[in-house]
Structure 1
Amino acid sequence: MEHISTLSELKNLILHKAQIPAITPGDCKSISREISKNLNKSVSETTLKRLFGFACMQHHFSSYTLTALSEYAGKTFVGCNGLDGSAGVENLPFSWRNIHEAATRHTELAIKCIKNRSEIPFEHTVNRNFAEKDFVEFFSSDCSFMSFISPPGLGRTLIMGRLAKKILQEKLSITSRSTLLFLSVRNIVDEFGICESFEDQLKSQLGIAKKDSLIKYANEHYEATGGKLIVFIDGLVELALKQDKITALFDTIINFIVKIGQQKSIKLVMSMRSNTWTNFKSCMLKQHGLEQKWFKGAHYNENEISNVPLLTEDEIDQVLSGLGLAALADLQPKLRTQLSFPFYMQPYIEMLSDNSEYGHIESSVAVSLTPFFMYNKVYSSSYSTEKIYFIKRLVELTGSGPTVHPVLKENLISGLEMFKNAYKELLCDGILMEEKGNEQQLYKRVVRFVHPHFFEYFNSVSL
């Protein structure tokens, strides 16, 4: 009844009607009010959150809900439930031009959403040199897929957006004949977080009939022009899915990678947090030889589980110059070091707006960036008291020796299981990281602060 292709169209129509370029959980309440006001029908905020992937689903949408949403969107779908997804595409003549145009529309929308969500004005962000070099090398290699991997806050989505914009504007000569499809993972899963076939969902987004082969189309285009299909997938961290569904999603992506492994016509680029990549890699290694099809990138560090380096001094200077701020060389050493972490850039800008006397107190601002960041992420956030409990215990369990070691998750959460929402937010906000233990901790999860200076900060303050 509810095919992903038509649900995606319905969601896009709702966003167009509501004039919302990039949906957030808070927008669901206003859409619910608009439906009630305009149609005198009730579709709850929670239902809309489920539709847009901000909450898990345990059942299908009712006919009443689908009808109300369709009426609000201004389109009547085929069938009594409106979502059989079968209209039109099967009988239309098709060409690579159709695929290219559909892919470009999705990519332009993805870039627009990234621009709207960027904390720093998008035009003042920078192209990461390492990312372009890695991508060009990957594009020319025999590898089938790559992923930008890092802890939260290092700007993976912006990296993808800037790179996509450059490809779309044909500023990379190597991709001039290629087609880029940029999707959020929400485009390829249904309201239950299920994606039975990754290829089928790509075809759905591109308007290709289910009976046809995406790989066949891509191969024909590659043989005729040398152009490839580049697929960008972002947003894995945003899904509220249980572990079994995450694993199932990984499996269908991996099955697709296996299918394109011997082809030169399709390249897959993803973005994942370090802990997400660890889980994905575990699934990947079950396929013999697939690791050889993974392009690691020039900066991959197995210990840090990251291939995204910190900002270089030139990159920081580009951002500061674009914003009309003091050059990096004019700042105190500690502040220069902190600004190499992209997640400190926004707190730095906010502090300047709050303190017109900044130019005379650079050193004190350098000391204050971490407390300012933690104030927003921990002390003034939801579940702040519970978060402080977790942080205090982690500091105590970590100890104060010269080497900071992760602690067993079971020891950290013992007695605090009822505060799981606080723990999840600490993971999502990039304060803590959960990962697999070493050989002595086989099959057990360990937890640590994402960055050593987070531990140093909390270890030095009174919690």
Structure 2
Amino acid sequence: MTSLLPQYIEVLKTAVLEKSGFSTITPCDCKAISNLIYNQTKFSISETTLKRIYGFAYSKFKPSLFTINVMAKYCGYQGWDDFCHQQEQTPQTSATNNASWERLKINASKITNFTLQVLRNKAGIPYNLTIKRQHVNHHFDEFLAGDYTATLLAAPAGHGKTIALCHWLEERINLNAQGNSDDVILFFSTSALMSAFLSGRDLNQWLLALLGYSADENITALFDDQQKKGGDFFLVIDDLDEHNYKPEQFKLLLSQLTDIFSLYQSYPWFKLIVTMRSDTWINNRHDVDNGSNKWFKGFIGNANWATNVPLFSVQEIKELSHTINPGAKSGLSADIATDLNHPLYFQFYYKEHKDNFSLSDIDHVCIYELISTFILNKVYLGHYSAEKILLLKGLIERMDFVNQNYDVTKTSVNALIKQYPQAYNELTGVGFIRELNNSTDLQYQTNIEFSNHNFLEYAISKTLLQANNFVFDTHLIKAINTQFEESKHKLPVLKWCLLYAIRTDQQLGFDVLSQTKLSLKEKSDLIIFLGDMLDKQWASANRSESLTQYFKKDCSPALFNYFFGIEFINLNYKKTLHSLLKFGLSNRKRILVYTMLASSAVMRLDMNDLELYLAKLKAIPAEEYNRFAINPLKCLDTLYAFFKYGEFKKEVFAEITHFYFNPPKEGNYFEDNASNDMIYLLGAYTSLIAQAPLKTLRYINILEKNYKKINLQKIDSYTYFLGVVMGNCYFRLGQIQKTEELYAAFNTVYKRNNDSFTNYMKNMFYALRLKTNLLLKKYAHIIEDTTSHMQVAGENRLSKLFMLAIIINNKDIEEVYPQFHKQCLYEHGKLLRETNVTTILALKSTPAYNT
């Protein structure tokens, strides 16, 4: 009986395709071929078996002799032995006559084209819709330009290594076809290497056999001769990862591959390319690299991470989206892009929205839903799901959250791994966890870690919930506050817990969110997430009855006030506020929501939005506004008239004057909450357009006596924005010392923790810095500070408009930096035209409004 020689199996697979009338094969063709084989031979080879043979499904074993015999009979032979005998009778040429470059190219191209076809069909997104990765192309350019023998594409699972490699190989093949190169490219995936082990042959001999040659033939002489003509031999192996093999198999394979590298590294025509996960390289680099300067790695950032295939850039996300659906809008915010930049998550999103693909529907909850889908399919479903959950729980319980140590030493969980070995292999196989060997000659150090922060945060949240009997309550919030006080994982873990809570009808517990200890930036992020989550649940066709009743009720005071804060103002916050309107809100709360929405419109100078929200406010009975110490409708109506028509309405200023001479003595007007913060800040900002800074300061003094003290040593959001108003007043009054002292206090807080500031707060900080330096006549950094302010201001066009007005009305700036002054004048005029606000503002020698 003839053994299952790999080169003959490849020939037989091609013969079956030709017999069936296929030039290439896709997974769905396997069913048709299965029927054709049965109709002719009356023997059955299942569709699944054919998928394994043609590489569409993973197989650890070689095809059975029965299967090979039936395939041979289908092709007109008596069986496998007869097929092999016929192949042996085919005239074979000698090494000197037959070892031709063209023959080598043809034999290699058959295998390469087949491998490309299989991998293209396996792509999560249809291959014709995928894009080339420029960073990967640059990586290969550097590799070929240098004196290197081998390179690798290394990254965690799901970074798009295989697709990027396929695109690059297609370009090389096209260069051959166009006559611009004369390379031999032999490309196969790691599943094909199983044949080498099963045949019992040396890897080098196996590769030669695949190409139709024996070990006795002088291939190196042929390559040496051809290299003088400019041709190279590329050996390309995809998915060379240790989790695909038993440990002893992988070590043997790696040893033989290293032997091939060592054998050919002195030949400039030999080029080895492999793709592997970062952890495979880290765990085996001592065997592969061994200090050789012939390996080109090109790792990005920290070389210890062993990654040279980056996540998607914003431009790549837009390009890919346009390729998938050219007619879809490509608008994408930076924070959403950061969530979707992982190729694996983008692939999940495509699968769920391929019928009407668009990025416009993506929100801040989307990435969590995509990860949940992955975990459902890879962890909760299939074999050993219970064991996987217990193993993950055991890993999490051995982490030190307080000291932010999220790696687990393998020795500490070795018993756990032995208890659930199949679960461990499955989780490493799908890339959920990974094993990193960083041992030295002095110490054994192998750690187990989650492959990315998303998987880690999900697993942590599930462990915390389980420890709290899966209840979302004060105890859970306290545990998160305590164990993740300064951790970047705190907010994502909280989000996972929120998703679990709303899906298990625990939304009544959301009031405890006010107990979470978050920075203002983190809180802003959480509020936007919470709004998106409520929106999705409201629109869900599977909304529970308890959730329906939840929305019908008025929003609780604790949760309602949690949503409020001027510091959160941006376009995403606008969407979140609209989600509050889905509740059965009281008229007071509806006034507050529309007031915040209108205030946001003022900051953006969006007159259309402002008109819309004013109409909503005016539709609410007038007596409802008597419950406010400062009438928000009058404030907003005054601001609208001022910006739209240059009209100055005095009624609201009379009300503010009455307030600081006769503040209310009874009622809940001075109850400390976010809603009142907003109302009093609105009054302060409105008073600025009266251009009477002393009156505005008097208003602030009354607030300090009756509402809240301003503490510049510990600036909260209310203090921060009221301080901004004070700074504007000092600036207008020319009080240099007070302006400088105020800025110094702000600067101390900003330097200490600027990462916790929202963009709107940063915008205010840069505006105050500019004014302080203008008063002090410190012009050295005025251009850089103005640029920083404009960048941070973003959609806040009101702030841009008034800062530009201050600069263009400063004669010193005009003299010192004439070109800069000219540019500011142009930008100011452009903003006036875009916003369609009254030009009277441009005529003010000292702008009256600071935002």
Sort the Cα spacing of 1:49 and 1:369 in 2 relative to 1 into closer, same or farther, 3 A: closer
Q: CA deviation at 1:60?
A: 9.6
Sort the Cα spacing of 1:10 and 1:417 in 2 relative to 1 into closer, same or farther, 3 A: farther
CA RMSD of aligned residues (A): 3.8
Task: Identify the match of residue 271 of structure 2 among 244, 267, 270.
Answer: 267
Q: Is the 8 A contact 1:22 1:116 kept in 2?
A: no
Query: Could you tell which deviates more after superposition, 230-239 or 381-390?
Result: 230-239
The correspondence of residues 29-428 of structure 1 with structure 2, limited to 5 A, is 38-41=40-43, 54-57=58-61, 62=65, 66-75=68-77, 79=81, 82=84, 86-88=88-90, 90-91=92-93, 93-94=97-98, 95-170=100-175, 176-190=181-195, 192-193=197-198, 196-223=201-228, 225-237=229-241, 240-284=244-288, 291-299=292-300, 301-324=302-325, 330-352=331-353, 359=360, 362-401=363-402, 403-412=404-413, 414-415=415-416, 417=418, 419-428=420-429
Distance across 2 between alignment mates of 1:360 and 1:3:
53
Query: Could you tell which deviates more after superposition, 293-302 or 256-265?
Result: 293-302
Q: CA deviation at 1:273?
A: 1.6
Q: CA deviation at 1:32?
A: 7.4
Distance across 2 between alignment mates of 1:293 and 1:456:
39
Q: CA deviation at 1:195?
A: 6.3
Distance across 2 between alignment mates of 1:343 and 1:278:
22
Q: CA deviation at 1:257?
A: 0.7
Q: CA deviation at 1:124?
A: 1.9
Sort the Cα spacing of 1:189 and 1:415 in 2 relative to 1 into closer, same or farther, 3 A: closer
Query: Could you tell which deviates more after superposition, 72-81 or 129-138?
Result: 72-81
Q: TM-score, normalised by structure 1?
A: 0.83
Q: Is the 8 A contact 2:26 2:121 kept in 1?
A: no
> What amino acid maps onto 2:427 in structure 1?
L
Q: CA deviation at 1:305?
A: 2.4
Q: Is the 8 A contact 1:332 1:362 kept in 2?
A: no
Unmatched 5+ stretches in structure 1? none
Q: Is the 8 A contact 2:321 2:359 kept in 1?
A: no
> What amino acid maps onto 1:217 in structure 2?
L
Distance across 1 between alignment mates of 2:361 and 2:114:
43
> What amino acid maps onto 2:171 in structure 1?
K
Distance across 1 between alignment mates of 2:321 and 2:86:
51
Sort the Cα spacing of 1:8 and 1:83 in 2 relative to 1 into closer, same or farther, 3 A: farther
Q: Is the 8 A contact 2:154 2:278 kept in 1?
A: yes
Summarize deviations over 1:156-199 as a string: whole Å, max 9, x none: 11011010111111299997232322222344542744664333
Sort the Cα spacing of 1:55 and 1:353 in 2 relative to 1 into closer, same or farther, 3 A: closer
1:2 is aligned to 4
1:435 is aligned to 436
Sort the Cα spacing of 1:176 and 1:238 in 2 relative to 1 into closer, same or farther, 3 A: same
Sort the Cα spacing of 1:8 and 1:374 in 2 relative to 1 into closer, same or farther, 3 A: same
Summarize deviations over 1:433-459 as a string: whole Å, max 9, x none: 112144499446421100123212322
Sort the Cα spacing of 1:374 and 1:56 in 2 relative to 1 into closer, same or farther, 3 A: closer
Unmatched 5+ stretches in structure 2? 467-851
Q: Is the 8 A contact 2:186 2:235 kept in 1?
A: yes
Sort the Cα spacing of 1:137 and 1:188 in 2 relative to 1 into closer, same or farther, 3 A: same
Query: Could you tell which deviates more after superposition, 228-237 or 66-75?
Result: 66-75
> What amino acid maps onto 1:167 in structure 2?
R
State the secondary structure of the residue aligned to 2:104: helix
Q: CA deviation at 1:265?
A: 0.9
Sort the Cα spacing of 1:133 and 1:79 in 2 relative to 1 into closer, same or farther, 3 A: same
> What amino acid maps onto 1:5 in structure 2?
Q
How much identity, in percent, do the aligned residues show?
Answer: 25
State the secondary structure of the residue aligned to 1:433: strand
State the secondary structure of the residue aligned to 2:92: helix
State the secondary structure of the residue aligned to 1:398: coil
Q: Is the 8 A contact 1:154 1:308 kept in 2?
A: yes
Sort the Cα spacing of 1:243 and 1:87 in 2 relative to 1 into closer, same or farther, 3 A: farther
Query: Could you tell which deviates more after superposition, 234-243 or 161-170?
Result: 234-243
- Number of equivalenced pairs: 455
Sort the Cα spacing of 1:376 and 1:242 in 2 relative to 1 into closer, same or farther, 3 A: closer
Summarize deviations over 1:237-286 as a string: whole Å, max 9, x none: 49853222211111111111111111111111111122332354232256
Distance across 1 between alignment mates of 2:124 and 2:444:
38
Q: CA deviation at 1:30?
A: 9.1
Query: Could you tell which deviates more after superposition, 260-269 or 277-286?
Result: 277-286
Q: Which has the higher strand share?
A: 1
Sort the Cα spacing of 1:198 and 1:404 in 2 relative to 1 into closer, same or farther, 3 A: same
Sort the Cα spacing of 1:75 and 1:215 in 2 relative to 1 into closer, same or farther, 3 A: farther
Q: Which has the higher helix share?
A: 2
Q: Is the 8 A contact 1:431 1:449 kept in 2?
A: yes
Q: Is the 8 A contact 1:7 1:83 kept in 2?
A: no
Sort the Cα spacing of 1:5 and 1:60 in 2 relative to 1 into closer, same or farther, 3 A: same
